[in-house]
Structure 1
Amino acid sequence: MLKSSTYLRRPISLHYIDDDILEFYYQAKGKGTKYLSELKENDILNIQGPLGNGFDTSIKNKKILITAGGMGIAPIKLLIEKLYENDSNNYITLIAGGADENAVKIIKRFDTSSIDLYITTDDGSVGDKCSTVDKTKELLKEKEIDIIYTCGPAAMMNALIKVSEKYNILCYASLEERMACGVNACLGCSIEIKDKKQGSILKKVCYDGPVFDSKVLNI
């Protein structure tokens, strides 16, 4: 087992489950994820979870748009499978975007046979040369959508939330925040959300989220 120089855990989305195998998709950026990338078979890794509240997969017979950018693509593979497992009548459109071809190559591991797939890249190396937000706006002019699920950079999700408000579409966003404890014990991932009675209150992304109804988010 490698000895990590980090103290805090790293919050990472669950990419996929296959029997007793858990898959994680992440980018090695700092000390913590670099350590994870150097683990070998039979090394021991202490995992805490699952934690918080994810996307609602109990919906039935809905037209769903999933817009994911960058590392926000990570939880989408499992999300699509669970939405179809619950109801095969759910109609899913996926927009996956990134900076370039390498940022979206993980989509090749998805089962996209039953969904409408659109790829966008900033440099146009694959798919359409535009942002996921621009592609969402384009599709909403053509398609009837009941629910939007989104995960990715904050700027992307904030823009999508405004689009969902314009079209009066229910939108759920999976927030990316630094987390320390993961169990509602500290204030590391606190965000301010709208509350009908109190105006605004603090919620913890690790415990109350990471997925929130966009209507309660202050953007």
Structure 2
Amino acid sequence: MTDRTRQEADRNVEGVVLSNRETAPGHFHMVLGLPVPIADPVPGQFVMVRMPDRLDPLLARPLGIYGFSRQAGEARLELLYRVAGKGTALLSGLSTGRVLQVLGPLGRGFRIVPELRTVILVAGGIGIAPLTFLAEHYRGLPAVVEGREIVCYVGARCSEALVGLERMEALCSRVVVTTDDGTCGACGIVTEPLGLDLPSFRPGATVIYACGPGAMLRCLADMLRESPVPCQVSVEERMACGLGACLGCAVAIRSGENALSYVRVCKEGPVFDIHELDWK
């Protein structure tokens, strides 16, 4: 048995679909019942999901974790996903009781900083999924600091593409919404109100987490180029194996004396320091 095969066997479980409902056009919330032995995921990690009775599509779909809990005799894994191709289209049609193969949790998640008072979340589109799980984690931490504030900036193309908003609002002190067409919240991109508020964030007491389209993260990287406020980002890349063996999800990073090298999103990521990535 190779190291890769052993890793897959250790983390590969069968999950039963408990619910799979459309929450917005083309967006679905799936809840899976899993065997208890699955490891507790860290916010920002992901799973690879596939239907065991199909060879087309052959590759599993990488999906960020929206929520996780343990109940009597099983674990429950929540996934929030957008239909973006054949694989996710097939997932959207699954009914209660169907069985899926779930590999995970995988990757490097967000680094939790419990001593900081202000937690800023920046979500673009379906990027709200891992950030919701992160917000729930922060809400559940012991009160290391008094009056912790969680603020979320959520952006989408239009009101119909805004998903998970009510759940995020229940977790945050404040939620700022933008849409490209102005059909909900302010008209514009999500980094605009963040940029206006950035001078009010106290360095040493604030951390920023972001997940969303590459263009949003690139804009955020430019905005934070000279900022002392730390920022962790979860990046999206096409994946084949999820274990770092195929090298299909490599991204460029800057290290040392601005030297360029490549790392695997599925293994060294998907979470990185925003200043570590090469955004050119």
Q: TM-score, normalised by structure 1?
A: 0.92
1:198 & 1:131 partners in 2: Cα distance? 30
Q: 1:140 aligns with which of 195, 198, 206?
A: 198
Partner residue in 1 for 2:263: 203
Number of positions where the alignment pairs a residue of Structure 1 with one of Structure 2: 219
**Residue aligned with 1:21, SS:** strand
Q: Report the secondary structure of 2:247's partner residue.
A: coil
Q: Which residue of 1 aligns with 2:232?
A: 172
| Deviations 1:132-178 (CA, angstroms, capped at 9, x unpaired) | 11111011134436211110000100110121223222111100000
Q: How far apart in 1 are the matches of 2:237 and 2:152? A: 23
Pick one of 35, 54, 59 that aligns with 1:3.
54
Query: Tell me, what secondary structure is at the counterpart of 1:46?
Result: strand
Pair 1:193-2:253 in alignment: yes
Instruction: Give the match for residue 40 of structure 1.
Output: 95
Picking from 174, 197, 200, the partner of 1:116 is: 174
Pick closer, same or farther for the CA change 1:110–1:198 going to 2, 3 Å.
closer
Unaligned runs of 5+ in 1: none
Q: Is the 8 A contact 2:60 2:240 kept in 1?
A: yes
Q: Is the 8 A contact 2:151 2:172 kept in 1?
A: no
Higher normalized strand content (fraction of residues): 2
Q: Choose the corresponding residue for 2:127, options 55, 63, 72.
A: 72
The more displaced of 47-56 and 104-113 is: 104-113
Residue 87 of structure 1: how far off its partner (Å): 4.4
Once the two structures are overlaid, the 10-residue window that deviates more, 42-51 or 145-154, is 145-154
- Paired residues of 2:135 and 2:171 also in contact (CA < 8 A): no
2: distance between equivalents of 1:23 and 1:142?
34
4+ runs deviating over 6 angstroms: none
Q: What TM-score results when the alignment is normalised by the length of structure 2?
A: 0.73
Assess if the C-alpha contact under 8 Å between 2:131 and 2:210 holds in 1: no
Shift of 1:118: 0.6
The answer to whether residue 68 in structure 2 is matched with residue 17 in structure 1 is yes
Larger Rg over CA atoms: 2
Q: Which moved more, 1:157-166 or 1:174-183?
A: 157-166
8-17 or 188-197, which deviates more: 188-197
Identity of aligned residues (%): 33
Q: C-alpha offsets along residues 90-111 of structure 1, whole Å, 9 cap, x if unaligned? A: 3211001101112224211335
CA RMSD, aligned part only? 1.9
Q: Which residue identity does 1:141 align to in structure 2?
A: P
Q: What amino acid maps onto 1:83 in structure 2?
A: Y
Question: Aligned partners of 2:253 and 2:153: how far apart in 1?
Answer: 27
Rounded Cα–Cα distance in structure 2 between residues aligned with 1:113 and 1:211: 22
Matched with 2:161 is: 103
Contact 2:126–2:163 under 8 Å retained in 1 = no
SS of the aligned residue for 1:166 comes to coil
Distance of 2:135 and 2:262 partners within structure 1 = 30
